[in-house]
Amino acid sequence: MADEGKHGVVGHVRRFFWLPRGTPRDPAPAPPLLRAWLRCLVVGAFLAQFTWDEEAARPVLMTVFVWMPMLDLVIKGVRNRWPAFVAAWLVLGGFALLASAAVPAVTESLWGEFAVFAPATAVALATFVGVTRLPWPRRS
């Protein structure tokens, strides 16, 4: 069981953090992430419209529909995958924080939160795709 090599649990964990040498690392494709963002908008609008208890389900949950495809691309091994993933998280949090600080009344309703998180998730996806398109660092 411990001698399964690449196909065991240890191999999958290693691939998640360190890709094998020679693995092609292409930039993240934008169309699947755009489809994920559109699903995110649908879920966020549904939650904002049909949720009565504001604490039960918040439009913040719509970020799950954005992070799952990004995490899938990280696992597949896109170029600059971990810096892109961390940068997208930071941009999303920063954008949401700045938007709610600029207009504090926005976060008092579910539609207000939707208005904050819809562009925040779009900016996070654009950041992820942009960072994966940066040139691969050369080691001398």
Dump pLDDT digits (tens) for 44-103.
888 888 876 655 556 667 788 888 899 888 888 888 888 999 999 999 999 988 988 888
Residue at token pair 């020679």? 22
List, as one string, the DSSP characters of 31-66.
HHHHHHHHHHHHHHHHHHHH--STTTS-GGGGGHHH
Q: Would 47 be classed as within a structural domain?
A: yes
Length of the chain: 140
List, as one string, the DSSP characters of 66-123.
HHHHHHHHHHHT-TTHHHHHHHHHHHHHHHHHHHHHHSGGGGGSHHHHHHHHHHHHHH
Structure tokens at 91: 């941009």
Provide the pLDDT for residue 8: 66
| pLDDT tens figures, 117-127 | 889 999 999 99
Q: Would 93 be classed as within a structural domain?
A: yes
Provide the pLDDT for residue 139: 64
Q: Would 11 be classed as within a structural domain?
A: no
Q: Would 71 be classed as within a structural domain?
A: yes
Residue 6 confidence (pLDDT) above 70: no
Q: Is the pTM of this model over 0.85?
A: no
What range defines the domain where residue 63 resides?
A: 26-132
Q: Is the dihedral of CA 89, 128, 39, 45 positive or negative?
A: positive
Provide the pLDDT for residue 7: 60
Provide the pLDDT for residue 124: 94
Provide the pLDDT for residue 1: 45
Q: Would 1 be classed as within a structural domain?
A: no
| pLDDT tens figures, 10-39 | 666 666 666 667 666 788 888 999 999 999
Provide the pLDDT for residue 114: 84
| Separation CA 10–CA 3 (nearest Å) | 10
**Considering its fold, how many domains does the chain have in total?**
1
Q: Would 35 be classed as within a structural domain?
A: yes
| Residue environment code for 20-34, b if the CB has 16+ CB neighbours within 10 A, otherwise e | eeeeeeebbebeebe
